[in-house]
Chains A and B, each alone.
Chain A
Amino acid sequence: MDAAVDPDAMLMLAYARGDLAAFEALYAKHRGMLYRFLLRSARDPHRTDELFQETWSRVISARERYQPQAKFSTWLLQIAHNLMIDGIRRQRPMADGDEAEMALANATTPESGQPEHALSEFERRRNLQRAIEQLPDEQRIAVLLRLEQELSLEQIAMVTGSGRETVKSRLRYAMNRLREVLSE
């Protein structure tokens, strides 16, 4: 990946040279997607806050040795993914599904017009969310990177450190499971 085509990489390089406004722009652009990815992957709001802050701390610490060999978002998600996997390997207790669901429900959601339609859409979103939470870790992360970040198979493979076909297989299994849940 050439850094010239990635404006985020340019911002990161500017920050490494001492431009704090560049970092603020970079942070404003990626804060939401990173937070959601972490929240839906870790399923623990407290742990999500820790991971979020730790991810940005790593970005800040690595600013001087940052080389734009990949997209900034890929690199950022890679850091977050590694931190999350470390946490999973340490077998930290995660919040149960209700707590994560409550945290997700507190956020604003787009509303539809009819109450019945809204209830139906709410149930579908809730079912989708529960189905995503019940996926195995590798499949859930791949689905989130795909649906939330809209990353390609190669980018997901780069973030997760897996092969492209492995990622494709994980996505296929995960989406089949999600469709089954939604069709019930």
Chain B
Amino acid sequence: MTTPLPPTDPPAPDDQLLGEAELAALYRQLPHSEPGPALDAAVLRAAAQALVASKNPLAVERRRNPRERGDWVRPKDFPLRDVDSIGVAPRARRRRLPPWLLALGSAASLMLVAGLAWHMRGQPTAAVPTDVAPPAPTNAPAATALPATPAPDRQAGATIGAMAAKPAASLLLAARPMKAESDTSERDAAYNQRAAAGADATIASPSPPPLAQTSAQPASVPPASSPPAEAEPATMMPMRHEAPSVAQKATPEQRRELDAIRKLFAEHHDDEARQRLENFHRSYPQWELAEDLRVHLRKP
């Protein structure tokens, strides 16, 4: 660019092409189109906004430069000088933990969850039987030495738990072994009905015993007289028949009734004995009879 020329200067003579003057004259007669007012306003508005934005760099949205991504740059809420401080602090806070620490934490969490699950799983089966039938030695004579549980205590417990009688019964049923249900389905149904009835009936009638009354009768039954199904090791069926027989605590009235029934059977008054036995069983359906009496109760 040796000789700067103003924009309106005509081209230098040596640049003139053949017929250019005629074409230029005709060209100047072509319509002189101009941008519309809306376009003018848009451009001037953009120019004014750019000046405002230059004072407050990110206050006005603008079109991006050719090397920037996207089409528009939109204003942000924080001033530009705060960008660095905002960008540095979270980066320091977002420092990654070492992997071994994450693995250790995950393992500890898993152990905690597993332990809690194991603990919660074991609670119902362990708590309910001990509540109903406290652990007693399988030794039969020892059961006879157990004093009868005072009925008022159990009745009071039933009174308090009137609302919870049915759940307690279902818990008891859940805690009972599966095998015991095979031959005591009727007893279970009656037991459920009884438990659902709640403690009102228990209190109203003095005769229905609490659930965990101890029967002295199983103590008199020798182990050899048990049927083969019940001769399984106590470790496998700890609560099956031995425990109820020990756990049932008979009132003097019940004990007298059972003794009387036995006496009637011994005197061969079978009809009367069976009738009284059925009455007893009907009155105390949850009562687990001794085997010598149960054989008379069974129906062909």
Interface positions of A (Cβ within 8 A of B): 1-2, 5-6, 8, 15, 18, 20, 23-24, 27, 31-32, 35-36, 39, 49, 52-54, 56-58, 60-64, 70-71, 73, 103-110, 121, 124-125, 128-129, 146-154, 168, 171-172, 175-176, 178-179, 182
Chain A residues with CB under 8 A of B47? 15, 20, 23-24, 27, 56, 60
Cβ–Cβ contact B46 & A56, under 8 A? yes
Chain A residues with CB under 8 A of B8? 150
Q: Which residues of B22-43 are within 8 A (CB) of A?
A: 22-24, 26-27, 29-36, 39-40, 42-43
Nearest chain B CB to A87 CB, angstrom units = 14
Nearest chain A CB to B37 CB, angstrom units = 11
The yes or no answer to B12 lying at the interface (CB within 8 A) is yes
Chain A residues with CB under 8 A of B11? 146, 150-153
Which residue of chain A has the shortest Cβ distance to B19 in the bound complex?
Answer: A179
Which residue of chain A has the shortest Cβ distance to B49 in the bound complex?
Answer: A60
Nearest chain B CB to A16 CB, angstrom units = 9
Nearest chain B CB to A20 CB, angstrom units = 6
Cβ–Cβ contact B46 & A57, under 8 A? yes
Q: Which of these, A35, A39, A53, contacts B42 with CB under 8 Å?
A: A53
The yes or no answer to B65 lying at the interface (CB within 8 A) is yes
The yes or no answer to B15 lying at the interface (CB within 8 A) is yes
Q: Which of these, A24, A63, A110, contacts B44 with CB under 8 Å?
A: A24
The yes or no answer to B54 lying at the interface (CB within 8 A) is yes
Secondary structure call for the A interface: helix
Cβ–Cβ contact B32 & A128, under 8 A? no
Cβ–Cβ contact A128 & B26, under 8 A? yes
Cβ–Cβ contact A107 & B32, under 8 A? yes
Which residue of chain B has the shortest Cβ distance to A82 in the bound complex?
Answer: B66
Between A and B, 23 residue pairs with Cβ closer than 8 Å are: A5-B6, A18-B54, A23-B47, A31-B34, A36-B32, A39-B33, A49-B35, A56-B46, A58-B66, A62-B65, A73-B7, A104-B30, A105-B31, A106-B31, A106-B33, A108-B31, A109-B32, A147-B27, A152-B12, A153-B15, A172-B17, A175-B18, A175-B23
CA distance A49 to B35 in the complex (A): 7
CA distance A125 to B27 in the complex (A): 7
Chain A residues with CB under 8 A of B9? 150
Cβ–Cβ contact A35 & B50, under 8 A? no
Nearest chain A CB to B14 CB, angstrom units = 9
Nearest chain B CB to A49 CB, angstrom units = 6
Cβ–Cβ contact B29 & A125, under 8 A? yes
Cβ–Cβ contact A64 & B4, under 8 A? no
The yes or no answer to B1 lying at the interface (CB within 8 A) is yes
Q: Which of these, A23, A57, A175, contacts B20 with CB under 8 Å?
A: A175
